[in-house]
Copies of this chain bind each other. A is one copy, B any other.
Amino acid sequence: MQAEIVSIGNELLNGRKVNSNATFIAASLAGAGIDVERVTACSDRISVICGVLEEALSRSDYVLVTGGLGPTADDRTKKAVMKLLRRGLTFDVGAFDNLVTRIRKFGRELSPSMHDQAMVIEGAAVIPNTKGTAAGMIIGCGPSFNNHTLILMPGVPVEMKAMMGLTVVPFFEKHTSSAIVHTQLRTAGIGESALSELIEGIEEALFQGTELAYLPHVAGVDLMISTRGSEKDAVERENRAVTDAIVERVGRYIYTEGHRSFEETIGNMLADAAKSVAVAESCTGGLVASRLTDVSGSSAYFLQGFVVYSNKAKETALGVPAELIEKHGAVSEEVARAMAFGCLEKSGADLALSTTGIAGPSGGTPDKPVGMLCLALAIKETGEVRSKTLFMAGDRAQSKFRFSEAALRELWEYLKHLEHERL
């Protein structure tokens, strides 16, 4: 079964609004095992709406439409559907009752334009609107449209979402027979190309019915393994087999199976290992601390952060010797190590992470170019301080984020090692 989404509204064409309604509908349909073939956003002119709906109905079993059901002059979806299907309107008692109840609740007067919202396309099954006044509709379009189905919903997100949850998704679940399983693997520290080279064979040998998608974002690449078939057990087995094969090849880059963020993953590992952490940041300017504290409950393991932008702050807040900065420069592994060590001492944490580098665009030299990062991890238990130097590209914002990512990765690698030892 195949579906399309049509989003109506000029605000989607002039950049004033992101089409997040379509994303929500697509996610809901994916969960119900329905493929979305296409998403179209178009203007609210009647001729345009008619054209887009006619094309969509010719291709797809189900066309889900949002927008243009409200009471104002630019709400023209019903008029377009009347014209396309050559049908009239009929008064729906249930929709009218809902309308009157809601209007009374808000102490408003019933105006004629509101009354129109209880008029529905002839032959439509009404989708109750539990969050607003405009009625939704499920319309069988008859033999001229291959008996395909049109589903009309308002564009107001909260009304559409309630309709999807209470009526539309259950409607699809009744009509679908196929099973679908998705597994997400999130990776860090490897790019899309390198990843695809490592799992190239698997991708080609995939079971029919299983698809592998790469979803790159600024911090890493997510792998989505999707399997579909008629029998639920077989679909789950097949999806697991492909997932396992991928994990075997690139497991060292995978930080989670599922939706957890890198920060949450690290937070859980810190909590499991009963280790506290503190950070000392120069070039990342507080971003590492901010990311670690994006996780609810992070106060259990995150103690303290030092943003030491100036040399003086490095000296006074962390006790980095002025001579060390003088001799090696603020961007050096030596200073990164002294920062991590000072951070460990001052905070009393079990682990201390430090960054010093050049985020650019200015401040680079031939020896120490923009994109250079020195980081260190100090470990109270062993007295060890690990450090490394990395080079990355990007504008200032990207570099800062990648620097923070590299620092978090260092912490993650150490926590993995601890986990390994415990097992």
- Identify the A interface with B (CB < 8 A): 10-20, 22-30, 35-43, 48, 52, 55, 70-74, 102, 105-108, 111, 113-114, 131, 156, 158, 192-194, 196-197, 203, 211-216, 218, 224, 226, 279, 281, 284-290, 292-294, 296-299, 302-310, 312-313, 316-317, 346-348, 359-362, 371, 391-398, 400
Contacts and interface: CB of A to CB of B under 8 A. Distances in A.
Contacts of A281: 286
B14 A27 contact: yes
Contacts of A216: 70, 156
A396 B37 CA distance: 34
Nearest to A361: B296
B18 A23 contact: yes
Nearest to A297: B362
Contacts of A400: 290, 293-294
The SS class assigned to the A binding surface is mixed
B106 A192 contact: no
A15 B26 contact: yes
A19 B17 contact: no
Contacts of A312: 303, 348
Contact of A131 (B29, B192, B395): B395
A165 to B, nearest CB: 12
Contacts of A306: 304-307, 317
A10 to B, nearest CB: 6
Closest 4 CB pairs between A and B?
Answer: A15-B27, A305-B307, A285-B293, A286-B289
Given A15-B26, A19-B23, A197 B40 contact: no
A114 to B, nearest CB: 6
A286 B313 contact: no
14 contacts: A13-B36, A14-B36, A15-B25, A37-B42, A38-B48, A72-B214, A285-B292, A286-B287, A286-B288, A296-B396, A302-B309, A303-B312, A303-B313, A304-B313
B299 A304 contact: no
Most chain B beta carbons < 10 A, residue from A25, A26, A215: A26
A43 to B, nearest CB: 7
A19 B39 contact: yes
A18 B308 CA distance: 37
Given A14-B36, A16-B215, A156-B216, A309 B316 contact: no
Give this chain's copy count.
Answer: 2
Nearest to A212: B74
Given A18-B23, A113-B193, A317-B346, 7 more contacts: A106-B393, A285-B302, A286-B293, A289-B307, A305-B307, A306-B306, A313-B347
B17 A18 contact: no
Contacts of A307: 279, 286, 289, 293, 304-307
A191 to B, nearest CB: 8
Nearest to A306: B306
A371 B156 CA distance: 20
B304 A310 contact: yes
A296 B360 contact: yes
Contacts of A304: 306-310, 313, 317
Contacts of A396: 294, 296
A108 to B, nearest CB: 8
Contacts of A360: 296
A304 B37 CA distance: 52
Given A304-B308, A307-B306, A15 B11 contact: no
A309 B313 contact: no
Contacts of A30: 14-15
A285 B290 contact: yes
A397 B294 contact: yes
Contacts of A156: 216
Given A52-B38, A203-B73, A309-B302, A197 B111 contact: yes
Contacts of A35: 13
Nearest to A371: B105
